[in-house]
């Protein structure tokens, strides 16, 4: 009986020890839970080769309207901020004094012409008499000179009339370009001075320019691609990234700024809907070419260490390992990889700080590709 009791006790202890070991193994297997991460896909696609810059919008043409005579503003024929057609009437100046100038000039011209006609008749009469020997040739020369001098006076009077008519026409001030009017710089009733008083600024905004600058190190590359054809420029207004405006490079400055090491450039945009406005700041991308079939990752997948750039790749069993990559460049939220990851790989884009090789992961959301 004692032997049987000892055997039963040993069996019970063995069962208890086995159960304890099983629980410990279970606890060890559950001690390292899966790490929740977000992931993306490495894909192969065509990517633009671009240079980024900050730009500012400026009018295609800007004209400050000034009077060509001194007078009082009698009428204003447009509204502030209005779209203006070429040759549209903008201001009407009081013409009273100029009409009087024209009347006086015309009266003098009439008088001078009458005198000229009389002098020509007298010169003709003395020509007849000198041929008959009735008067001396010097008498004839005097009347002939008088008639010629009066002819020049008539021409001067005609020029004065033409000038008075021209100045009267300056009372109607018209726009030399199509564009958009700015604010009134003077109001109705004001006295304006010839070629001194600014009346309004007209900006042509269709098309429109954007100025920007890039580092001189890019200049040889830009010139190389420019020889192959026009270069596209993409503009984005900060805060409105969903809309990309397409234009083309139209100007490269003839010298590099020695203080900044930058070279100024200018792009032209059609701006048919008037979306761009003078003075706006833009994010500019100068597109040199399109690279075909490159490997692209979400930019958030690429991490930095002392050994260089790396990414965490998710295997089929949802364990991860890190691999070093060679970054070509980053475009927006995408990074072009020249070495280290193949298209089709799943890479971690969020949660890398909790990862190490061999850990299992679970997805916060489904894998997405760009």
Least confident of 1-10, 86-95, 187-196: 1-10
State both tokens at 179. 């564009």
Domain pair 35-47+293-363 / 67-94+171-198, same fold: no
Looking at every residue in the chain, the average pLDDT score rounds to 89
Q: Which residue has the higher pLDDT, 164 or 141?
A: 164
Domain chopping of the chain, boundaries: 35-47+293-363, 51-59+207-291, 67-94+171-198, 96-169
Pick one of 3.40.50.300, 3.40.50.2300, 2.130.10.10, 2.40.420.20 as the CATH number of 35-47+293-363.
2.40.420.20
Backbone angles phi, psi at 100, to 5 degrees: -65, -40
Half-sphere exposure of 218 (CA within 13 A, CB side): 20
CA angle, corner 37, sides to 31 and 38, nearest 5?
A: 170
How far apart CA 63 and CA 182 sit, in angstroms, is: 11
Tell me the CA distances in angstroms from 9 to 2, 4, 194, one per residue in order: 11, 9, 122
pLDDT at 4 (0 to 100) = 52
How far apart CA 52 and CA 54 sit, in angstroms, is: 7
CA 147 to chain centre: 65
pLDDT at 71 over 90: yes
For 51-59+207-291, CATH number? 2.40.30.170
pLDDT at 361 over 70: yes
Query: Of 256, 235, 255, 237, nearest to 246 (Cα)?
Result: 235
CA 181 to chain centre: 20
DSSP per-residue string spanning 162-229: HHHHHHHHTTEEE-SS-EEE---SS-TT-EE-TTT---EEEEEEEEEEEEEEEEGGGHHHHHHHHTTS
Residues 225-284 have pLDDT tens digits of 999 999 999 999 999 989 999 999 999 999 999 999 999 999 999 999 999 999 999 999
pLDDT at 370 over 60: no
Pick one of 2.40.420.20, 2.40.50.100, 3.40.50.360, 1.10.730.10 as the CATH number of 67-94+171-198.
2.40.50.100
**pLDDT level of residue 111 (50, 70, 90 thresholds):** very high
How far apart CA 322 and CA 368 sit, in angstroms, is: 20
* Longest CA span, the chain: 188
**pLDDT level of residue 369 (50, 70, 90 thresholds):** very low
Pick one of 2.40.50.140, 1.10.287.470, 3.30.2010.10, 3.40.630.30 as the CATH number of 96-169.
1.10.287.470
Least confident of 14-18, 89-93, 159-163, 241-245: 14-18
**pLDDT level of residue 137 (50, 70, 90 thresholds):** confident
Mean pLDDT of 137-156: 90
């Amino acid at each position: 009986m004692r032997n049987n009791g000892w055997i039963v006790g040993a069996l019970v202890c063995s069962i208890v020890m086995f159960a304890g070991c099983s629980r410990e193994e279970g606890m060890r297997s559950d001690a390292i839970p899966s790490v929740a991460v977000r992931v993306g896909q490495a894909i192969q696609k065509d990517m633009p080769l671009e240079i980024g810059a900050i730009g500012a919008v400026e009018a295609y043409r800007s004209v400050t309207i000034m009077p060509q005579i001194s007078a009082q503003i009698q009428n204003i024929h447009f509204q502030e901020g209005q779209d203006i057609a070429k040759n549209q009437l903008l201001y009407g100046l009081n013409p009273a004094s100029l009409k009087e100038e024209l009347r006086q000039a015309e009266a003098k011209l009439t008088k001078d012409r009458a005198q000229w006609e009389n002098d020509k008749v007298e010169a003709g009469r003395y020509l007849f008499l000198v041929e008959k020997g009735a008067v001396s040739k010097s008498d004839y020369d005097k009347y002939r000179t008088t008639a010629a001098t009066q002819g020049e006076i008539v021409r001067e009077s005609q020029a004065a009339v033409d000038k008075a008519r021209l100045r009267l026409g300056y009372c109607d001030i018209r726009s030399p370009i199509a564009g958009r009017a700015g604010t009134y710089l003077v109001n109705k009733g004001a006295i304006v001075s010839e070629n001194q008083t600014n009346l309004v600024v007209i900006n042509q905004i269709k098309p429109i320019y954007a100025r920007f600058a890039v580092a001189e190190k890019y200049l040889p590359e830009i010139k190389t691609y420019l020889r192959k054809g026009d270069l596209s420029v993409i503009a984005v207004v900060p805060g409105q990234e969903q809309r990309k405006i397409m234009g083309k490079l139209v100007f490269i400055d003839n010298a590099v700024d020695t203080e900044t090491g930058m070279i100024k450039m200018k792009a032209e945009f059609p701006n048919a809907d008037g979306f761009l406005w003078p003075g706006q700041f833009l994010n500019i991308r100068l597109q040199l070419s399109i690279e075909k079939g490159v490997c692209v990752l979400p930019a958030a997948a690429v991490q930095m260490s002392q050994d260089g750039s790396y990414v965490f790749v998710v295997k089929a069993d949802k364990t991860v390992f890190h691999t070093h990559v060679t970054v070509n460049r980053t475009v927006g939220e995408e990074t072009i990889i020249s070495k280290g990851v193949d298209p089709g790989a799943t890479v971690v884009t969020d949660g890398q700080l909790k990862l190490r090789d061999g850990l299992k992961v679970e997805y916060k959301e489904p894998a997405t590709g760009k």
